[in-house]
Amino acid sequence: MINNIRFQSNHLSDIPHLSDSASPLFNSLHQQPSILNYVDILHAGLRPEQTTRLYAERHAAVTVFDNLINPIFDNITVLYSASDGMNFSNVGSSVRLRNSISAYNRGHGITVTSRYGNVTLDNVYIHDNGGDGVNYALNNTEWSVREQEESPQRLYKPFCEAADTVEFPNYFSYRPQGAGTCCTQTFSSMYNTRLTLHFQSVFVNDNRTRFRVEIYDGKFDVMPLLANITFNRGIESLSSYSNELLVRLCHSCD
């Protein structure tokens, strides 16, 4: 059973490309990025009494959290932090860290918690940290107020029974109708928008059970294939390049 599948429509600038994802946002005079250049940060950060894997967010010497417009980082040195050297969490546009050092920190050198993975490290020297050099943690979901407050039976529609939709966000649960069966849905949004599919949770009662998701960039399965993944646990969010998406979920058993 796959619970909590969410489809979301975003303007193209909301889920930008990795190569230069932030640049369209900088056209406005009110949305200029901050710049950190030749900055040394020593003995900073906060270390709760927990292990390197379990402490809360935002305790690193340098933290970027929930930003749509991210600073430009160049020649940053972070040493002897009480926790992580740098922490990039829920970043909404691209972050590029260049010509920098993160070393001798008690936690990880750099932590990335992201749905989109828009973090680029360019000529970054990471060494002698207490945890990982770079620790990437997938943050696959955003639980809205509606998701938290509304009954799941009312919020989530059966994926195999629901009609095609143009309303977003939209919520589905998938229960296979039988072994080896597939269900297909198509989704359309406004022109110049993209669609994002979030797998919020996956529950498998039998370890032999596998699911497969096929995603096409359009309303038909002759369109470009974006993903063909077999899984039995949560997978990363996937986005279209156009305003249409075909999703096929299949069940199989070893």
- Span 178-218, pLDDT tens digits: 777 899 989 888 888 888 887 777 777 777 778 888 999 99
What DSSP designation does 154 have? H
Protein fold of 2-14+143-253:
Jelly Rolls (2.60.120)
Q: In the chain, how many H helices and how many E strands?
A: 2, 17
pLDDT at 37: 92
Distance CA 68, CA 218 (A): 28
Collapsing DSSP states into helix, strand and coil, what is residue 48?
A: coil
Q: Could you give the CA distance from residue 102 to residue 41 in angstroms, rounded to a whole number?
A: 10
Q: Confidence band (pLDDT; 50, 70, 90) for 146? A: low
Q: Stretch 27-55: mean pLDDT, rounded?
A: 68
Contact 213, 236 (CB under 8 A): no
Render pLDDT for 164-181 as a digit per residue (tens, 0 to 9). Answer: 655 677 888 888 777 778
pLDDT band at 26 (very low <50, low <70, confident <90, very high): very low
Which of 32-46, 73-87, 134-148 reaches the highest mean pLDDT?
73-87
Residue 86, beta-bridge partner list: 62, 110
Among 200, 61, 183, 66, which Cα is nearest to 129's? 61
Sequence spans of domains, the chain: 2-14+143-253, 33-138
Average pLDDT, the chain: 75
> What is the arithmetic mean of pLDDT over 100-116?
86
Helix (H) or strand (E) holding 115: none
Please state, in angstroms and rounded to a whole number, the distance separating the CA atoms of residues 11 and 240.
11
